[in-house]
Each structure stands twice: as C-alpha cells, then as structure tokens.
Structure 1
Amino acid sequence: MRVVIPLDENAGHTSKVCDHFGSAPFFAVSDTETGAFEITANGDSQHDHGQCTPADVFTGMGVDAVICNGIGARAASRLQMSGIGVYMAGLAPTAEEALKRFNSGALTKVTGQQTCQGHDCH
C-alpha cells in the first residue's frame, strides 16, 4: 500500500508531521509492503486557502491512503472521491510514528466532522 504523509521538514522518518495537509512543505510517500520511503517537495504549498490539488498528483502515483494531523473538508473529499483513504494520525509527531499507528490499525478514516474548519483548529 502506498501512503502519503504531509511533513514540515525533510528529515527522513523523523520528519515532523505537518498539521495542515495542503500547506505542507513536503510529502513523504511510503510503501508499507516494501518499506520504501521517499520525501518530495510540495510544489503547491503556497496556494490560496481551499485551492490545493494534491489529490490529482497522488492519484497518478497510485497512492492508496493519506495519513494526516489535519485536513480541510474539500481536500479530504477530493482524495476520497479519487479512491484515496484519508486517516487522522492522532497528532503523531513524526512520519515514523504516523506509519507505526497506521500499520497497527490504530487509525480511523476521516469523517466530515474531523476535518479542519480553518487554520486555527489545532
């Protein structure tokens, strides 16, 4: 399974998970079967609020799930409509911890009530 995690920094598995999905400076793409882990820059991190389009990019990459600490309803809906599951990481501090929680089955899929309603939600 290919999983994406929004990150504040490019520091490998110990990178801090970004609180806001669309404005994350980086994204980690991890393959839970092979253990592959790659970090890429988010070329759309400076978008107008509500205008991020990473769902388009991730769909083309064969991503199955996104693990995040916070995501807007519009972004979550776009991802879900593309067949990408969106999971709340429970405020995981690092990519490593977010993946650990996901792999253990401890995370649940995002509902509309769990999405961010603004940038002061955390």
Structure 2
Amino acid sequence: MLNNYKPYAYMRVVVPLDENRGWDSKISDEFGHAPYFALVDGDSLTIVEGPKVITGRGPRWAELYTKLKPDVVITKEIGKPAYAAFRQKGVTVYYADAKTLREAVEKWKRGELREFPEELAHEPHHEH
C-alpha cells in the first residue's frame, strides 16, 4: 500500500504566474508582484489574480500565506523577508527551473527542483 504513497498529494503548492493559461501558464519572474498565482492542491489547480490575493494590507508574503496557505512555494525570485518568513513557517521554497507551471510542478513531484538558495533571495522592492 505504501508503494502508492504520493506525499505531494497532501501539499499545497503556490507558484507566481505571468498569465492565466491553466497548466501552460508561464511562471513569473516576479513573486510578490505577479499578476496571477497558481494554487496546486494535490492534482487540482486554481489560478487567482494577484491583486485579489495581495491587497496591500500588510506584507505581501503574509497575505499570500494567510489566504493560500502554501506548504511549498516554487518561484524564480523572492525577497529576503518573504524567504525567511516562509521558511520560519515551515514552507519549503524551491527554485523554479522551468518555463511553465506544468513543467515546474512535474519536476517538483519527481524531486528534480532544488531548494531556493538563500543567497539568491534579494532585498525587498520598495514602491515609492
């Protein structure tokens, strides 16, 4: 019975997206400013608009964490505060070595994504 165990089936994965094209959506080069976010829960996919998730009522990572409750984040970039906060809350952050959502999630399920290197987390972008 354990041979069919799929740990990813019980994890909520969040990925920032540039577009809403389902599994073929392009992964965003931005995290907190992404136009869309994918929530992969087991094998189900929900795509939400960034402004509906991040409304500006607190740190971007905190709103995303509270509303989408990820266990895993797959991203191409992330700020140091968000990276540290996610890690502190037990969220694993992976580097999105992929072009599309489908490719990133399939690589993650196969264990082919590496954890996001802490030294690549950048200083936060401040809007003036």
Partners of 2:91 and 2:105 in 1: how far apart? 16
The amino acid that maps onto 2:111 is G
Q: Is the 8 A contact 2:39 2:68 kept in 1?
A: no
The amino acid that maps onto 1:73 is K
TM-score using structure 2 length: 0.76
**Aligned counterpart, 2:119:** 113
For residue 114 of structure 2, give the secondary structure of its aligned residue in structure 1: coil
**Higher helix residue share:** 2
TM-score using structure 1 length: 0.80
Bigger radius of gyration = 2
Aligned residues: 112
Matched residues, percent identical?
Answer: 36
Partners of 1:55 and 1:86 in 2: how far apart? 15
**Aligned counterpart, 1:87:** 94
1:53 to 45, 56, 60: 60
**Aligned counterpart, 1:73:** 80
**Deviation beyond 2 Å, 4+ runs, structure 1:** 54-62, 116-119
**Aligned counterpart, 1:42:** 50
For residue 30 of structure 1, give the secondary structure of its aligned residue in structure 2: strand
Q: What 5-or-longer segments of structure 1 have no aligned partner? A: none
For residue 57 of structure 1, give the secondary structure of its aligned residue in structure 2: helix
Q: Is the 8 A contact 2:36 2:50 kept in 1?
A: yes
**RMSD of aligned residue pairs (Cα, Å):** 2.1
1:102 to 85, 104, 108: 108
